[in-house]
Chains A and B, each alone.
Chain A
Amino acid sequence: MKKSRRSFLKVAGVSALGIGVAPAIKAVAASSAHAAAEATKTKNPEALTAKRWGMVIDTNKLNDEVAAKIVEACRKTHNVPDFHHEPDPEKFPKNRPVNQKQEVKWIWEEHFHNAFPDKEDEFLAEKFKNLPFLVTCNHCKNAPCVQACPTQATFKRDDGIVLMDFHRCIGCRFCMAACPFGSRSFNFRDPRPFIDEVNPDFPTRTKGVVEKCNLCAERLAKGLQPACVEVSEGAITVGDLEDPNSEVRALLNEKYSIRRKQELGTEPSVYYIM
């Protein structure tokens, strides 16, 4: 008797649990299906898609002028603050002096030996010594920043783009310590006084959050090429690394290319044609 009562209770318990859980599972399933349907409904049919986004920079086509244009276009598109000028004293009378070391950079120029410190070569071809090497976030396949982030504020999308959620970031800067490319910037102060013209299509950031290149994910979603590609005069190409017929793969097939700090195994998605 005792035994059967116990087994009855067991069965009853399990079924009660089942009754309780089943609707929850159904609800979750329904909501995710609903969300998926919603997503397909709202997805822009012209959006550019890829299995894994990558960037190819043809160093032969870069010069100081083009590089400067690229940096400027990225700045304007994403409201990246410019710490080289003090803000308008009339609009921001109480502004404190700028500390250049606390600047924000998404894509910027570096010398070869800074961009590729591990490839430093005593007898490097002369042409590389003065060439502007544009560096940016590599959108690594194995991104150390994503691994380090304690709040999932930085995350990798299925298409390989590493993104930042500016509203979830707590500003611990662990991702900056983890990034071996120095690609991330922190808003040590409110960036807004340092934005000359605000682009209303992209949010401005607040103090205390990390930011970096987002491969123009917001432009790709509208079917537009990234801002840097548009002004690069053919020096930068963005496309699907996993599509053998893509333009980026054609370029990589044709010419010799290198990546930054390949030995670290982060699998950067930015290639430099030499």
Chain B
Amino acid sequence: MLEIAIKGSKKYWIWLGVLCAVIGAGFLVYVDQFINGLMTTAMSRDVTWGFYIANFTYLVGVAAGGVMVVIPFYLHNYEKFHRITILGEFLAVAALIMCLLFIVVDLGQPIRMLNVLLYPTPHSMLFWDMCVLNGYLFLNIVIGWKVLEAERNQIKPPAWTTPLIYLSIPFAIGIHTVTAYLYCGLPGRGFWLTAILAPRFLASAFAAGPSVLILLCYVVRKFTKFDPGWEAMQTLSKIACYALISNVFFFLCEIFVTYYSKIPGHMTHIDYLFFGLHGHNTMVPWMWSSMILMISAAIMLVIPVLRSNATLLPFICVMVIIGTWIDKSLGMIAGGFVPSPLHHVTEYMPTFKEIGITLGIYAAGLFILTILYKLATTVKEEVRG
């Protein structure tokens, strides 16, 4: 099936070329980081995780969001998702590969990475995160590939894919739950120490994932002859809508508990994010923008006229994506580490090198996504035509 990927228009090749250039540039920056260490980043003794882990967290959400097409289609036989299920699964593959790359570039000693496998440590959440991420990646590759191949050959997918598909559902929930557990099991980090973190992560994932998928449907409609179907896109937007509302609601629950209880160790973090602390207020404009974007996007998605406006919908999706990205990436990391356990305020904003490597990884993800979507859409065109 891969031969499809090497037959494409000029535009397709130019796009892949551009992505390769960005990947190459990102890689060169990474070589510098590899040689000199993470000193090239803006991370510090107080803020020990930064832009890489922030983007990792977000993309785990995007990958988990793929389950929002798998559940309706496979569990509820929602036929309208028939065409986009493969797009959801392939999006998860690309997002997961980016996640793994973000973990690797964040390591101080990437060469020793396999120590996680050589000395398996079940009491560490990172061990379980590795298991579920790789498991979900493997499941999506196998399922996506086999189902697409079967479609191309006009036969039923092999019977053994069915249990794998069912297994992929708890795995999707699992990747984001375990990723939340990385944060919320830590003593002394008041911002993360909350049982609602995993549900909040999932809510934000189920808003962000489908929003990305809707945008990708627009792209697919524009550049290929394959139409994912407007009704499927509308259903996705409804899913994004209610997930987004849940996310905002969960956040407000957090605000209530924190400010009504008035426990300083929990308040200072949110104070820092939304109002600034001791004159440090880098995050303030970001966090308010995020709130405004998420709340206004939720309102627009609730109103049927606005949601079903084909020109407006992509903009709403972009609002959801940016809003949830700030909330879950920047805010989650900065809010958790600032102020530090000793109540020092050390702020964090990524360096250009960090941003460069990050862009390189996103380009790698887009590269994979392009090729996978090329396969999927071409097969679907072939079958229909």
Q: Which A residues contact B (CB, under 8 angstroms)?
A: 96, 99, 101-105, 110, 113-115, 117-118, 120, 135, 144, 147-153, 168-174, 176-182, 185-190, 206-210, 261, 264-266
B77 interfacial contact with A, CB 8 Å: no
13 pairs of residues in contact across A and B, judged by CB atoms under 8 Å: A101-B44, A102-B45, A149-B121, A150-B116, A150-B124, A170-B113, A172-B126, A179-B341, A180-B188, A180-B189, A207-B38, A208-B109, A209-B109
B194 interfacial contact with A, CB 8 Å: no
Are B116's CB and A178's CB within 8 A? no
Residue in A117, A186, A208 whose beta carbon sits within 8 Å of that of B48 in the complex: A186
Smallest Cβ distance from B283 to chain A, in angstroms? Answer: 17
Minimal Cβ-Cβ distance residue in A for B125: A148
Task: List 18 extra interface pairs beyond A152-B119, A169-B109, A174-B126, CB under 8 A.
Answer: A101-B346, A102-B44, A147-B123, A148-B126, A149-B124, A150-B121, A150-B126, A168-B112, A168-B119, A171-B38, A171-B107, A172-B103, A177-B189, A180-B186, A186-B48, A208-B108, A210-B108, A264-B187
Are A117's CB and B186's CB within 8 A? no
Given contacts A101-B346, A118-B265, A144-B187, A181 and B37 within 8 Å (CB-CB): no
Minimal Cβ-Cβ distance residue in B for A266: B187
Are A182's CB and B112's CB within 8 A? no
B2 interfacial contact with A, CB 8 Å: no
Kindly count the residue-residue contacts between A and B in the assembled complex, taking CB atoms under 8 Å apart. 153
* List of A residues within 8 angstroms of B108 by Cβ: 169-173, 186-187, 207-210
B221 interfacial contact with A, CB 8 Å: no
Question: Which residue, B108, B110, B112, B343, has most C-beta atoms of chain A within 10 A?
Answer: B108
Cα–Cα, bound, A174→B48 (Å): 8
B115 interfacial contact with A, CB 8 Å: yes
Given contacts A170-B107, A174-B182, A208-B109, A113 and B343 within 8 Å (CB-CB): yes
- Among residues 311 to 356 in chain B, which have CB atoms less than 8 Å away from a CB atom of chain A? 336-337, 340-344, 346
* List of B residues within 8 angstroms of A206 by Cβ: 109
Minimal Cβ-Cβ distance residue in B for A117: B343
Smallest Cβ distance from B306 to chain A, in angstroms? Answer: 41
Residue in B36, B49, B121, B342 whose beta carbon sits within 8 Å of that of A151 in the complex: B121
Are B106's CB and A172's CB within 8 A? yes
Are A182's CB and B107's CB within 8 A? no
Cα–Cα, bound, A21→B49 (Å): 46
* List of A residues within 8 angstroms of B336 by Cβ: 177
Interface bits B45-70 vs A (CB < 8 Å: 1, else 0): 11011000000000000000000000
Cα–Cα, bound, A39→B41 (Å): 43
B43 interfacial contact with A, CB 8 Å: yes
Minimal Cβ-Cβ distance residue in A for B186: A178
Cα–Cα, bound, A179→B130 (Å): 21
B127 interfacial contact with A, CB 8 Å: yes
* List of A residues within 8 angstroms of B115 by Cβ: 150-151, 153, 168, 170
Smallest Cβ distance from B336 to chain A, in angstroms? Answer: 8
Are A101's CB and B124's CB within 8 A? no
Q: Which B residues contact A (CB, under 8 angstroms)?
A: 36-39, 41, 43-46, 48-49, 103, 106-110, 112-113, 115-116, 118-119, 121, 123-127, 130, 182-183, 186-189, 264-265, 336-337, 340-344, 346
Smallest Cβ distance from B267 to chain A, in angstroms? Answer: 12
Smallest Cβ distance from A180 to chain B, in angstroms? Answer: 2
* List of A residues within 8 angstroms of B118 by Cβ: 151
Given contacts A99-B44, A190-B37, A177 and B186 within 8 Å (CB-CB): yes
* List of A residues within 8 angstroms of B103 by Cβ: 172
* List of B residues within 8 angstroms of A105 by Cβ: 45
Query: Ordered nearest first, which 8 A-B pairs have the shortest CB separation?
Result: A171-B108, A180-B188, A208-B108, A101-B44, A207-B37, A189-B39, A150-B126, A151-B115
Minimal Cβ-Cβ distance residue in A for B47: A101
Cα–Cα, bound, A176→B45 (Å): 8
Cα–Cα, bound, A104→B39 (Å): 12
Smallest Cβ distance from A203 to chain B, in angstroms? Answer: 15
* List of B residues within 8 angstroms of A188 by Cβ: 37-39, 41, 43-44
* List of B residues within 8 angstroms of A261 by Cβ: 187-188, 341
* List of B residues within 8 angstroms of A174 by Cβ: 124-126, 182
Cα–Cα, bound, A265→B186 (Å): 12
Cα–Cα, bound, A219→B199 (Å): 48
* List of B residues within 8 angstroms of A180 by Cβ: 186-189, 341
* List of A residues within 8 angstroms of B343 by Cβ: 113-114, 117
* List of B residues within 8 angstroms of A265 by Cβ: 187
Are B186's CB and A182's CB within 8 A? no
Minimal Cβ-Cβ distance residue in A for B129: A150
Cα–Cα, bound, A262→B298 (Å): 43
